[in-house]
Chains A and B, each alone.
Chain A
Amino acid sequence: MQIFHRSANTLSKLSIFGGLLVVGLLLLFMNAFESSGWVTTQNEIQTQPIQFSHARHVGGNGIDCRYCHTSVETSAFAGIPPTKTCMNCHSQIFNQASYLEPVRASYRTNTSLRWVRVHDLPDFVYFNHSIHVNKGVGCSTCHGRVDQMPLVVQVQSLQMQWCLNCHRHPERYVRPRADVFRMDYTPPTDQLALGRKLVAEYHIKPVADLTSCSTCHR
């Protein structure tokens, strides 16, 4: 007696491949979802208490990154300027603009402006700005052309695989220390030759150390 019809053979074969296909598609989908801007907040515009424009301050007025981010060369945190730094100029420039009232109110009442963090790494990553800028990693390599951004967005995914791109091949990204804070820096055509030279000159650690878990996670 035949329990299954002959066509069941085809169906069973199809279901094996179909099952694999579904699992494969699911993995692909999960991967795409995890690296999508919806999860990584890449290219997402955050609403800030004041629409501070880096394009105006850096691109337009030529103010160096370090004027405000004073601790970027010496500590893990680049530093968000206190309201006093804004008032250095805005005590006189646009000092009546209603647009800047939150800044003046913050200064008068000694309360902090509540900026929304744009580049937010997980707390289990011990990222340190100073080691990067002192070893020739330029601001724009990770943060993009901030001098052209009316509102700062995160241009890179900040995912671990993105970090590892550079930790595995630092010679592809490092630049001379003198150019670290230059926004318009473009790598030379012989970047690899320059990179290898700088990796040696700046004593950048071997890849085995750069990719060791405890370099970034403790």
Chain B
Amino acid sequence: MHNQPKYIPLRETHFFKSGRSERPLVAGTVARGQLREDDLLYTGKVDGREVNEFPFPVTEAVVERGQQRFNIYCSPCHGTTGLGDGMIVRRGYRRPPSYFEARLMNAPVGHFFDVITNGFGAMPDYKAQVPVRDRWAIAAYIRALQLSEHATMQDVPPAERDKLNAQPSAPGSK
């Protein structure tokens, strides 16, 4: 009763040589609803060139989702501000570039999507850990981080300024 003869996730099988009850997709097949026709959405490129547009409208909710996912998957190396001083870098991983370098400030947004999807330099790919729409949300949040680096009070909508002033400074920030 406790262990029934059925497969729950990651339970071992003796039927297949690899011992895995989870089976990979048969080569050349596409699961229903998983056809990736939309190049812009799935690759961040159109005609082989990185695009500088989003495949869906970027709303406040998208940026907030991006912030949350960035803090989970990216901040260990890139740091919560994007300077490239995350905890794993302090433990010895090769330091990634800051998002505020001219090269990355000028990079099209599709570039960030492509790097998350396929990796870049020392950075591994995150396509297995971060779903497609979340990758775009993270790219949007990276853009927000880049904007905030050189933002002044004039960039903040007047209605929001009091909120900023009212907040106590977070530990470690000035």
Residues from chain A with a CB closer than 8 A to the CB of B71 are: 64
Q: Is A23's beta carbon under 8 Å from chain B?
A: no
Choice from B9, B10, B88, B94 contacting A61 with Cβ under 8 Å? B88
Is B108 interfacial (CB-CB < 8 Å)? no
Of B39-47, B51-59, B122-130, B162-170, the segment with at least 4 beta carbons within 8 Å of chain A is B122-130
A92 to B72, CA, bound (A): 20
CB-based contact A93/B129 at 8 Å: no
Check B2–A70 contact: CB distance below 8 A. no
B76 CB contact (under 8 Å) in A63, A84, A92? A63
Q: How many residues on B have C-beta within 8 angstroms of the other chain's C-beta atoms?
A: 26
CB contact between A66 and one of B3, B10, B72 (< 8 Å): that residue: B72
A87 / chain B contacts, CB cutoff of 8 Å: 124
- Which of B4, B71, B72 gathers most chain A CB within 10 Å? B72
Interface membership of B36, Cβ < 8 A: no
Is B97 an interface residue when CB atoms closer than 8 A count as contact? no
Residues of B near A82 (CB, < 8 A) are 128
Are B6 and A89 neighbours in the complex by a CB distance under 8 Å?
no
Shortest distance from the beta carbon of A42 to any chain B beta carbon, whole Å: 16
In the complex, what distance in Å separates the CA atom of A77 from the CA atom of B21?
15
With A61-B87, A88-B124 as contacts: A67 and B94 at CB distance below 8 Å: no
Contact B19 A112 (CB under 8 A): yes
A91 partner residues in chain B, CB cutoff 8 A: 124
Q: Is B49 an interface residue (CB 8 A)?
A: no
Q: Is A124's CB under 8 angstroms from B76's CB?
A: no
In the complex with contacts A63-B76, A93-B92, A122-B20 CB distance below 8 A: no
A35 within 8 A of B: no
B1-46 residues with Cβ-Cβ distance < 8 A to A are 1-4, 6, 8-10, 12, 18-20
B124 and A77 contacting across the interface, CB-CB below 8 Å: no
The answer to whether A112 and B76 have CB atoms under 8 Å apart is: no
Instruction: State whether A122 touches B128 (Cβ < 8 A).
Output: no
The CA-CA distance from A206 to B122 in the complex, in Å, is: 51
- Do the beta carbons of B91 and A61 come within 8 Å of each other? yes
A93:B88 contact, CB within 8 angstroms: yes
Cβ 8 A contact of A80, one of B10, B72, B87: B10
Q: How far is the CB of B133 from chain A (nearest CB, A)?
A: 12
Q: Which residues of the partner chain A approach B129 to less than 8 Å between Cβ atoms?
A: 67, 70, 85
Q: Beyond A67-B76, A82-B128, is A122–B93 a contact (Cβ under 8 Å)? A: no
How many residue pairs, one in A and one in B, have C-beta atoms under 8 Å apart?
57
Across the interface, which residues of B come within 8 angstroms of A114, CB to CB?
A: 12
A66, closest chain B residue (CB): B72
Given contacts A123-B2, A123-B6, contact A67 B87 (CB under 8 A): no
Please, which residue of chain A has its CB at the minimum distance from the CB of B22?
Answer: A112
Within 68-110 of A, Cβ neighbours of B (below 8 Å) are at 70, 76-77, 80, 82, 84-85, 87-89, 91-93
B1:A122 contact, CB within 8 angstroms: yes
The answer to whether B73 has its CB under 8 Å from any CB of chain A is yes
Inter-chain contact A93/B1, CB cutoff 8 Å: no
Q: State whether A77 and B93 are in contact (beta carbons under 8 Å apart), knowing that A67-B76, A122-B1, A123-B3 are contacts in the complex.
A: no
Given the contacts A85-B129, A93-B88, A124 and B4 also touching, CB distance less than 8 Å:
yes
- Shortest beta-carbon distance from A158 to chain B in Å: 12
CB pair A93 B93 closer than 8 Å:
yes
Question: What are the 4 closest A-B residue pairs judged by CB atoms, nearest first?
Answer: A123-B4, A77-B9, A64-B72, A122-B2
10 contacts between A and B (CB under 8 A): A61-B91, A67-B76, A70-B129, A85-B128, A89-B88, A92-B94, A111-B18, A123-B1, A123-B6, A124-B1
Given contacts A63-B76, A123-B3, 5 further A-B contacts (CB under 8 A): A61-B88, A85-B129, A87-B124, A123-B2, A123-B8
